[in-house]
Copies of this chain bind each other. A is one copy, B any other.
Amino acid sequence: MSKPTILVTNDDGITSKGITHLVSLMKTIGDVIVVAPDSPQSGMGHAITLEDPIRVQQVHTMNDIEAYSCSGTPVDCVKMARSVLFKDRHIDLCVSGINHGSNAGINIIYSGTMSAAMEASLEGIDSIGFSLLDFDPNATFEHANDYILHIVQSVLKKKLQGGKLLNVNIPKASDAHIKGIKICRQGQGAWNEEFIQHKDPRGRNYYWMSGHFENLEHSEDTDLWALSQNYISIVPATSDLTDYKQIAQLNQILNET
């Protein structure tokens, strides 16, 4: 049987440690191709580049792997891969990451890592976003190797249904061993922004977005709980944002008044 073709992308940029690690793992399983941003694109969500042209450049630092850097967003990278760079190639799987930082809970909607994976899922490709709960650019990923390989091989063998998208978050490396994998729902949390205010030389204010994440629920079926207990969390995700439970209420609201 021929090896599967695996598209690797991320949002931290093509020179980050996380994507380098993911590529090295995927090489043991399949034929790897890479299209990733040429600069950090964290927090880009599902942005696409409409107001500027997009450039791509072949990258020769990944040994024998065909790799491209792209000036656009993570979603642009997947679109370029599908429509230009590898348009005649069948892609069996898209993996995105390994992100430096959590994409659990509501972080999924801000995450370039997850949006790139979702874009591939919209094209019918089984897709997995991997994130590590450690923002350190020099973080270590080895403790997750066996789990990542198990998840990818299982998906390649059995195929995903529905949204065809998994949001995988991995506890930070520590002395405590990872306890295993939990399939979860997306936990509710929120970012509490703090805007740091500075003045430019002309006396005008500018702001840096900062803040901290607040976990707003502790149910044992959520990704946030699983991670707090040192499990790897996997949330099956979808691009159908319909809030089905509200359809009946909304019919009432709009017809009664």
Contacts and interface: CB of A to CB of B under 8 A. Distances in A.
Interface residues of A, number: 84
Contacts of A83: 193-195
A84 B171 CA distance: 33
A249 interface: yes
Interface string A114-126: 0100100011000
A138 interface: no
Contacts of A254: 150-151, 154, 181, 183, 234
B54 A43 contact: no
Q: How many copies does the complex hold?
A: 2
B243 A238 contact: yes
B206 A55 contact: yes
Contacts of A79: 193, 195, 209
Interface stretch (A16-24, A27-35, A88-96, A102-110): A102-110
A173 interface: no
A139 interface: no
Interface string A146-185: 0000110111011011110111000000000000010101
B80 A195 contact: yes
A193 B49 CA distance: 12
A186 B122 CA distance: 14
Contacts of A51: 40, 42
A250 to B, nearest CB: 5
A164 B160 CA distance: 30
The 8 closest A-B pairs by CB, nearest first: A45-B46, A236-B246, A238-B243, A47-B47, A53-B206, A45-B45, A163-B243, A236-B243
B236 A242 contact: yes
A215 interface: no
Contact of A239 (B50, B106, B238, B246): B106
Contacts of A56: 205, 207
Contacts of A253: 154-155, 158, 160
B42 A50 contact: yes
Given A43-B50, A162-B249, 12 more contacts: A48-B209, A53-B207, A54-B207, A75-B110, A154-B256, A161-B246, A183-B254, A186-B240, A235-B241, A236-B250, A237-B242, A239-B241
